[in-house]
C-alpha cells in the first residue's frame, strides 16, 4: 500500500505503530466505523523475523514482506489510512496554545466537551484525535507530558547505566489513567510473538470501542462490541422480529442504569440496527469467500501463485482454462 502524501487533519483514532498489534487494533476500530489512521515508520520488531512460521492460517509459513502487504491491504479494505511517517509527540489541546476542536466526527463520538489529542509527526503532519493507541514497541517518548508525574516511565539499570523506559505495566488491560489513551505496545510478553501481538491489538481496540459506547450511554454488558457476522438462519423465527430484540435488550439493562426513556430508546434501536447489519444470507456468504481468496491472490501476485503450483497442477489448470474458453 502506498503511503499518503498528507495525513488527515482529524480522526477518531490515531494508532502509533504499524506492526501486528497496531494494525490489528486499526482493523477493529475502522470496521466499527471510527475514522482511523495508522502512523508507521516501518521498523516494527517483527521485521527482524527471517520468516514467519507460527502465524495461524499459514501452514507452511509466510514471508514477512508478503505478510506485511496483506496487512496493509486489510487496512485499505476496512477504510483505515496507513501513513509512512513517525509520530514525534502527542499532546492535549491547550499545550503550547493549541486550540481544541471538540466537534464530533462520528455518531458514536465522545462528549463534545472532551479534549482531543494533537498528534505531530516527523514530516510536519498535525492530526487531532479523540483516541490514541500506542502500538510502537521501540519507546514511548512521544507520549511524554501526557501524564503529569511521568508515571508511564520507569528507570532501569543497563550495564551499569540508568535509562528511562516506558513502563509496559502502565496500561491496565490496554487502558491508561489518561482518558482516551490506550497502549497495545509495549506490553511486555503480549508483544513477544506476532500472533499474540495481533490479538493484543484487537483486544485493546475492543476496550476502546467499549469505552466509547459507555460514553454514549450503553449500560452494563451492552457496551461490549463483538465484531461477528451472523448467518441468516440466526434471524429466523422470533429473532427475526425487532420486538423480540427490544425485549431482550431491556432485559440486559441494569436496574441502576440512569437513562431517560428517550435516550434508552435511541440506544436500543441503534443496538438492534447494528445486530441486523451483521446478517448475511447464504448467497452473500457464498460470494464472500471467492472475493476473499481473489484479494489474497491479487496481493500476493498471480504469477507467484502460479509459480507455486506443481508443474502437473499448473498444466491441468491451463488445460481446464483453455477448454473453458472453447466451451464458452
The grid coordinates of residue 264 equal 434508552
**pLDDT exceeds 90 at position 16:** yes
Task: Say which CATH topology domain 10-95+114-215 has.
Answer: FAD/NAD(P)-binding domain (3.50.50)
User: Using one digit for the tens of pLDDT, what is the confidence trace for 100-114?
Assistant: 443 444 444 444 445
The predicted pLDDT at position 94 comes to 60
Domain spans in the chain, listed from the N-terminal domain onward: 10-95+114-215, 217-280, 282-324
**pLDDT exceeds 60 at position 209:** yes
The predicted pLDDT at position 108 comes to 44
Whether omega for the bond prior to residue 186 falls within 30 degrees of 0, making it cis, is: yes
**pLDDT exceeds 50 at position 130:** yes
CB atoms within 10 A of CB 143: 25
The residue that leads in pLDDT, 164 or 3, is: 164
pTM of the model: 0.87
pLDDT-based confidence at residue 222 (cuts at 50, 70, 90): very high
The predicted pLDDT at position 6 comes to 53
**pLDDT exceeds 60 at position 50:** yes
The predicted pLDDT at position 188 comes to 80
Question: Could you please report the per-residue DSSP string of 155-177?
Answer: EEEETTEEEEEE-TTSSBTTB-S
User: Using one digit for the tens of pLDDT, what is the confidence trace for 69-98?
Assistant: 999 999 999 999 999 999 999 998 764 444
Q: How many helices (H) and strands (E) does the chain have?
A: 8, 11
The predicted pLDDT at position 121 comes to 95
pLDDT cut 90: percent of the chain above it: 66
Return the residue matching grid coordinates 476496550. 207
Mean pLDDT of the chain: 87
The predicted pLDDT at position 323 comes to 46
The predicted pLDDT at position 99 comes to 41
Amino acid at each position: 500500500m502506498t503511503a499518503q502524501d498528507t495525513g488527515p487533519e482529524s480522526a477518531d483514532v490515531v494508532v502509533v505503530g504499524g506492526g501486528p498489534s497496531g494494525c490489528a487494533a486499526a482493523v477493529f476500530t475502522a470496521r466499527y466505523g471510527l475514522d482511523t489512521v495508522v502512523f508507521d515508520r516501518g521498523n516494527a520488531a517483527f521485521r527482524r523475523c527471517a520468516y514467519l512460521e507460527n502465524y495461524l492460517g499459514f501452514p507452511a509459513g509466510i514471508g514477512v514482506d508478503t505478510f506485511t502487504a496483506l496487512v496493509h491491504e486489510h487496512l485499505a479494505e476496512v477504510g483505515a489510512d496507513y501513513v509512512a511517517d513517525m509520530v514525534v509527540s502527542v499532546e492535549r489541546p491547550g499545550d503550547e496554545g493549541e486550540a481544541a476542536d471538540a466537534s464530533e466526527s462520528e455518531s458514536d463520538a465522545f462528549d463534545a466537551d472532551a479534549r482531543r489529542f494533537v498528534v505531530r509527526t516527523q514530516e510536519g503532519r498535525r492530526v487531532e484525535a479523540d483516541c490514541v493507541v500506542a502500538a510502537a514497541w521501540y519507546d514511548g517518548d512521544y507520549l511524554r507530558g501526557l501524564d503529569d508525574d511521568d508515571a508511564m516511565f520507569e528507570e532501569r539499570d543497563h550495564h551499569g547505566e540508568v535509562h528511562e523506559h516506558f513502563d509496559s505495566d502502565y496500561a491496565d488491560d490496554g487502558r491508561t489513567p489518561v482518558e482516551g489513551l490506550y497502549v497495545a505496545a509495549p506490553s511486555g510478553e503480549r508483544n513477544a510473538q506476532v500472533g499474540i501481538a495481533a490479538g493484543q491489538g484487537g483486544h485493546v481496540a475492543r476496550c476502546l470501542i467499549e469505552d466509547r459506547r459507555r460514553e454514549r450511554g450503553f449500560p452494563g454488558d451492552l457496551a461490549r462490541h463483538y465484531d461477528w457476522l451472523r448467518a441468516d438462519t440466526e434471524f429466523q423465527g422470533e429473532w427475526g422480529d425487532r420486538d423480540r430484540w427490544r425485549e431482550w435488550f431491556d432485559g440486559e439493562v441494569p436496574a441502576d442504569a440512569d437513562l431517560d426513556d428517550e435516550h434508552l430508546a435511541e440506544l436500543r434501536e441503534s443496538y438492534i440496527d447494528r445486530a441486523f447489519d451483521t446478517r448475511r444470507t447464504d448467497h452473500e456468504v457464498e460470494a464472500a469467500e471467492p472475493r476473499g481468496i481473489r484479494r489474497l491472490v491479487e496481493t500476493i501476485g498471480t504469477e507467484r501463485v502460479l509459480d507455486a503450483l506443481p508443474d502437473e497442477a499448473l498444466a491441468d489448470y491451463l488445460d481446464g482454462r483453455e477448454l473453458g474458453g472453447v466451451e464458452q
